[in-house]
Amino acid sequence: MSSLLSMQNIRKQYPGVLALDNVSFELQAGEVHCLLGENGAGKSTLMKVLSGAIQKDGGEILIEEKPVDIHSPVQSQRLGIGMIYQDFKLVPELSVAENILLGHEPTKGKSSFIDFPALHKKAETILFQLGETFDTHAPVFTLSVAQRQVVEIAKALSKNVRILAMDEPSASLTQRELKTLFAIIKRLKSEGVGIIYISHRLEEIFEIGDRLTVLRDGKHIKTCALGEANRRSLINWMVGREIEQEYPKIELERGEEILRVEHVSGGVVNDASFTLYKGEIFGFGGLVGAGRSDLAKIIFGADKKEKGKIFLNGKEIAPRSPREAIDLGIGLLTEDRNHFGLFMQLDIKENISISNLAELLKGPFVDREKEASVANEYSSSLRIKTPSIEQLVENLSGGNRQKVVLARWLFTKSKVLIFDEPTVGIDVGVKYEIYNLLNRLAQDGFGVIVISSDLPELLGVCDRIAVMWQGSMTGILERSQFSQERVMMLATGQALEEQDA
Amino acid sequence: MPEGQHTSNALERFKRLFDKFGIGIALLIELILFSQLSEFFFTADNILNVTLQTSITAIIAAGMTFVILTGGIDLSVGALVALTGIVTTSAMSSAMPMSLALPLGLLVGGVLGFITGIFVTKLNITPFIVTLAMMTICRGLAFIYTDGRPIWEVPPEFSILGNGRLLAIPIPTIIMLGVYVVAFTMLHRTRFGRYVYAVGGNKEAARLAGISTNKVLIQVYILSGALASLSGILLASRMNSGQPNSGLMYELDVIAAVVVGGTSLTGGRGTIVGTFIGAMLIGVLRNGLNLLNVSSYVQMVMVGVVILLAVLLDQLRKK
């Protein structure tokens, strides 16, 4: 098979960092080529070079063996290169059809009036190509995340893409939606489109990939067929050293009860009950939208509780705001820490102190010396990698950002910590560190709740797992009962078989 | 080393200097330029004069900085200047002592700021719309109450506030400096200030971090309103009367000062020192151009150009 795209010895220098150091990447027609690496490995830089968002400093790009120059996104699109980003670039108020054909709408003759019947027909044809049929008149904001992604793919196809790069396309998809995405990818493959697939989720890569390329620290590490790799070798290539165990689990004695939730309802959450003990890591499994984060927010006082009771150390509590929950000793490390957890324009110490400034007041003023010493303390005990605690959080990596949030909650003297998707967007090596931190917290007598959509992580880290489905709790599994199948069955609302009861 | 290396080093050095002091450098250049162009410019009298002329908008800009840092805007400040002037002077003209009339004036802005805050938070209407409505309401009230005529019957000692001097320094200048010291301390040293940055930077994260975002927002509008009223009192005192059409378009001058000072209209980024320098930059420009006998029409154009340049520089700095 001939090569569709060949990027040869690509070099990109940023001030102080060599982001791409002679990286080569090759893509054939009709293959799914997975691009792997930790954050900062150079994946996105390479894709930005391809999309024309940034200019390379050296190297060559060939499409169908002809050298091409890519200076701008428009040029990249003309060459048949399509990009699908994690955060979609759609106009919510416009219809599906208008979004798909944005920028090259069919017009009535030579006029500049849009030919709407033709527009919808064309959009329908493209969607049909993808095996999807939905109303092209619907405004995009009414669609589900998965549907939006289909629109995004259709949009790329409308420009006759031959090379389609997808950056973490599965990040916010449910299991069933992922199946649809894979079906679409297979269809595109059969039509000869070359697909570059970027994902942190290794299971997916084994399911959909044909070949893979691993980057590390801006260097090309490995290219091979998926068949020649396994989970462990992939991780080692990515991290650059042996990781013996992905999940460092320690066995702990279950302590006394710390949090009890009884028949709580509110929003989508319907009649949830569970008890959390000291010294255990209590997991929540289920599909995206099953109500796990909603339950966490109710416990944290951020969402309204309509029914039920919550007990902390045996005493009933009813926090009506995050402030009240924090003062009671509950902390929530939100999912999507960048949007709901951190203040990018504030520095590390200010992000750590923000929930407990009361403790740092000297008269009406914030005692900045004390603030710095508190921040330094957490920064070193959690091993936050930074030149200084005055560093803005926006300059930190995902793992270090998560540690900053954790430091904030430790400083509020929380005794119950709820981690919502604690390792999303975090490198394999740092994930390991986060798991160790979770263990340490459990060991130190915190009540630890982990909500995760990463099934192997949940099974590897937790002592018990509660599973939710459509707002209800469908079961709680003990560690001896753990299996992917059982969690998935509960997560899709099926009853477990007799022997499990 | 080739010649090019030297110039690029000098450029680098300037860039680093600018990174650190930003718009302050621009103000410095402006000061040097005008002192070369006009012999009257760099005299103690004239410099004090600039601070006096700028004090009214600069005081409002301090409050506006807090509002804009939260991602909001307050368009009602100019109208509040007028309404406060009217309320204060009319109170005094109906024999209320100054010691009561002045706090009453401050209360006008505080209360209206509180109402704005309630609309913005509890009723969830965008600040632009709420304060736009407040602007015309206040302006309208000022005209209704006075029937469009100024109020002249004020006690003679009232004019000291706006026209008096203390050790040769104009009283409004002293008040302005005081306001900035307090505002700086509030913004950069207190919990409230930290919350302002947090709410403006990421409102939902602020709520989930346990900050009462509504409270912070309401406080910010109260502050902005009260400082607008303070300026309103000073202006009425300078004019020795309450004028229903005073403070016209002040909101734009004030927003310009804040933006030139490097505060981001989307919230979360900015400083109080920046605002002060921004206000002075515009004030000095007006004063310098006056000394050079540049017509006020040309001045308008130049102020606009400076606003664009300042924001452009700030954009380049971020890259």
Whether the per-residue pLDDT at A15 is higher than 80: the answer is no
Which H or E run contains A297? helix A292-299
Pick from A327, A361, A408: which is nearest to B191 by CB?
A361
Distance from CA of B228 to the nearest CA of A (A): 24
DSSP at A8: E
Alpha helices in A361-494 (DSSP H): 368-381, 398-411, 428-443, 455-461, 484-491
**How sure is the predictor about A113, in pLDDT bands with cuts at 50, 70 and 90?**
confident
Whether the per-residue pLDDT at A500 is higher than 60: the answer is no
In which residue are the tokens 């697909």 written?
A195
Pick from B190, B194, B208: which is nearest to A322 by CB?
B208
**Stretch A362-389: mean pLDDT:** 91
Distance from CA of B202 to the nearest CA of A (A): 6
Which of A304, A354, A411 to probe the B interface (max B CBs under 10 A)? A354
In the prediction, which pLDDT does A276 show?
A: 95
Whether the per-residue pLDDT at A108 is higher than 60: the answer is yes
Kindly list the strands in the beta sheet with A3-14, ordered across the sheet, starting from the edge strand earlier in the chain.
Answer: A17-28, A3-14, A58-63, A66-68
Residues in B touching A408 (Cβ below 8 Å): 209
Kindly report the average pLDDT of chain A as a whole number: 88
In the prediction, which pLDDT does B8 show?
A: 59
Which chain B residue's Cα is nearest to A326?
B210
Which CATH number do you get for residue B247?
1.10.3470
A304 touches chain B (CB under 8 A): no
Percent of all residues in chain B with a pLDDT value above 90, rounded to a whole number = 70
In the prediction, which pLDDT does A178 show?
A: 82
pLDDT in tens, A20-36: 999 999 999 999 999 99
Which chain B residue's Cα is nearest to A332?
B208
Please indicate whether, in this complex, the C-beta atoms of B194 and A354 are within 8 angstroms of each other: yes
Alpha helices in B190-293 (DSSP H): 191-201, 203-208, 213-239, 250-260, 272-291
Residues in A touching B12 (Cβ below 8 Å): none
Distance from CA of A18 to the nearest CA of B (A): 18
A321 touches chain B (CB under 8 A): yes
A476 touches chain B (CB under 8 A): no
Distance from CA of A369 to the nearest CA of B (A): 12
Distance from CA of B267 to the nearest CA of A (A): 10
Q: Is residue B13 part of a domain?
A: no
Q: Is residue B101 part of a domain?
A: yes
Whether the per-residue pLDDT at A351 is higher than 90: the answer is yes
B69 touches chain A (CB under 8 A): no
Of residues A147 and A265, more confidence is placed in: A265
pLDDT in tens, A407-416: 999 999 899 9
Which chain B residue's Cα is nearest to A349?
B194
Question: What ipTM was assigned to the predicted interfaces of this complex?
Answer: 0.83
Report the distance separating Cα B27 and Cα A480, nearest Å: 71
Q: Is residue B29 part of a domain?
A: no
Residues in B touching A334 (Cβ below 8 Å): 205, 208
Interface of B with A in 198-217 (CB under 8 A): 198, 201-202, 204-212
Q: Is residue B1 part of a domain?
A: no
In which residue are the tokens 């290539």 written?
A237
Q: Is residue B234 part of a domain?
A: yes
Six token digits for residue A280: 């255990």
Whether the per-residue pLDDT at B5 is higher than 60: the answer is no
pLDDT in tens, A296-307: 999 999 999 999
A341 touches chain B (CB under 8 A): yes
Report the distance separating Cα A384 and Cα A399, nearest Å: 8
Whether the per-residue pLDDT at B318 is higher than 80: the answer is no
Please indicate whether, in this complex, the C-beta atoms of A340 and B205 are within 8 angstroms of each other: yes
Report the distance separating Cα A294 and Cα A268, nearest Å: 7
Interface of B with A in 260-279 (CB under 8 A): 268-269
In the prediction, which pLDDT does A501 show?
A: 41
Domain hosting residue B110, numbered range: 39-318
For chains A and B, CB pairs below 8 A equal: 72
Whether the per-residue pLDDT at A294 is higher than 50: the answer is yes
Kindly list the strands in the beta sheet with A447-451, ordered across the sheet, starting from the edge strand earlier in the chain.
Answer: A330-333, A416-420, A447-451, A281-286, A464-469, A472-478
Residue B183 three-state SS: helix
In the prediction, which pLDDT does A420 show?
A: 92
Report the distance separating Cα B284 and Cα B23, nearest Å: 13
Instruction: Indicate the Cα dihedral angle A124, A125, A130, A136, nearest 10°.
Output: -10
Cβ(B138)–Cβ(B83) under 8 Å? yes
pLDDT in tens, B265-313: 888 889 999 999 999 999 999 999 999 989 989 998 988 998 888 888 7
Distance from CA of B95 to the nearest CA of A (A): 38
Q: Is residue B103 part of a domain?
A: yes
In the prediction, which pLDDT does A453 show?
A: 83
Question: Which stretch, A206-220, B109-123, B262-276, has highest mean pLDDT?
Answer: B109-123
Whether the per-residue pLDDT at A79 is higher than 60: the answer is yes
In the prediction, which pLDDT does B16 show?
A: 66
**How sure is the predictor about A342, in pLDDT bands with cuts at 50, 70 and 90?**
very high
Which of A343, A351, A411 to probe the B interface (max B CBs under 10 A)? A343
Which chain A residue's Cα is nearest to B195?
A354
A419 touches chain B (CB under 8 A): no
Distance from CA of B195 to the nearest CA of A (A): 8
pLDDT in tens, B6-50: 555 676 676 666 666 678 888 888 899 999 998 888 888 899 999
Residues in B touching A412 (Cβ below 8 Å): 210
- Identify the weakest region by mean pLDDT among A167-176, A487-496, B205-214, B284-293: A167-176
Report the distance separating Cα A313 and Cα A186, nearest Å: 53
Cβ(A5)–Cβ(A70) under 8 Å? no
Q: What is the CB neighbour count within 10 angstroms for residue B120?
A: 25
| Phi, psi for residue B17 in degrees, rounded to 5 | -60, -45
Q: Is residue B249 part of a domain?
A: yes
Please indicate whether, in this complex, the C-beta atoms of B210 and A321 are within 8 angstroms of each other: yes
Please indicate whether, in this complex, the C-beta atoms of B205 and A300 are within 8 angstroms of each other: no
Please indicate whether, in this complex, the C-beta atoms of B197 and A343 are within 8 angstroms of each other: yes
Q: What is the CB neighbour count within 10 angstroms for residue A396?
A: 20
**How sure is the predictor about A489, in pLDDT bands with cuts at 50, 70 and 90?**
confident
Cβ(A433)–Cβ(A399) under 8 Å? yes
pTM, entire model: 0.81
Pick from B197, B201, B209: which is nearest to A355 by CB?
B209
Start-to-end CA distance of chain A, whole Å, equals: 53
Of residues A157 and A162, more confidence is placed in: A162
Residues in B touching A365 (Cβ below 8 Å): 185, 189-190
Pick from A341, A344, A366: which is nearest to B191 by CB?
A366
**How sure is the predictor about A446, in pLDDT bands with cuts at 50, 70 and 90?**
very high
A332 touches chain B (CB under 8 A): yes
- Identify the weakest region by mean pLDDT among A105-109, A195-199, B80-84, B145-149: A105-109
In the prediction, which pLDDT does B21 show?
A: 67
**Stretch A78-97: mean pLDDT:** 86
* Residue B319 burial class via C-beta count within 10 angstroms: exposed 0-12, middle 13-18, buried 19 and up: exposed
Longest CA–CA separation in chain B, Å: 78
Please indicate whether, in this complex, the C-beta atoms of B205 and A339 are within 8 angstroms of each other: yes
Whether the per-residue pLDDT at B56 is higher than 60: the answer is yes
**How sure is the predictor about B194, in pLDDT bands with cuts at 50, 70 and 90?**
very high
Residues in A touching B213 (Cβ below 8 Å): none
Report the distance separating Cα A68 and Cα B260, nearest Å: 43
**How sure is the predictor about A180, in pLDDT bands with cuts at 50, 70 and 90?**
confident
In the prediction, which pLDDT does B4 show?
A: 43
* Number of folded domains that form chain B: 1
Q: Is residue B23 part of a domain?
A: no
In the prediction, which pLDDT does A498 show?
A: 46
Task: Of A424, A436, A484, A481, give the one whose Cα is nearest residue A461.
Answer: A436
